[in-house]
Structure 1
């Protein structure tokens, strides 16, 4: 591969990358974005062929019949088309990933909020249980005192019966 041919391929690749970056920047979507990528890539390849095609043929006199250059042009076109399609797929996937990440982060914030509410509810329940335990302790103390008073009353009644 000669220098002129390498330069044409390099310029074509850079131009296609710039085209894809512009598509990403302006957020072309759907069929319009796909057509933008494909048509832009084709125009870049045609322009590169028009600018550098003649020099490549002059530097390779063995390829005067044009078949080698046509095969190379076809391969470059196929590579550029595949790159354009793959770039568009990557853009779609990255947008899907961003949407999914946004959904996951919203769910995460909702879980955080609900967890805080659960913690607050658990503290309230714990305080209520402690209050109930205190009331049960007081009730138990009252029952024990009543039992003691009842025993004392029974003893007094028994003494009164004997006398």
Structure 2
């Protein structure tokens, strides 16, 4: 006898006044068969839904990764430009410092040479060196101003 035939026989017995226990078990068996058949029928659509969800998640992550990569590339390019500008500015500032040190060395050497030539004219020599140093300082201020103007005029990464 098959399971379906047994279940049908139990239903008939219960309806005819047979055991209630057999009717309960019949209901349990029929419910289990219904659940199993439902799972079997829905298994395919569930797999399709799960596959589509995974595919959508992967596509979303792919787009996000591409966006992040392009953003990182833009930031890297902007950072490289900024570094080049800073390197050029620092090189110019270093050149000014070297120039200033050379000027100071030249003034000191000249003062010592003038004093050694004629110690009596030391005051006059000091005033000549002081005038020379004032001219040099004015030129240094102009150079520093040019560097500051270049720094202000250079486009920043936010503007580009």
- Return the TM-score normalized by structure 2: 0.48
- Give the number of the structure with larger relative contact order, counting CA–CA contacts within 8 Å between residues 6 or more apart: 1
For the pair shown, which has the larger CA radius of gyration, 1 or 2? 2
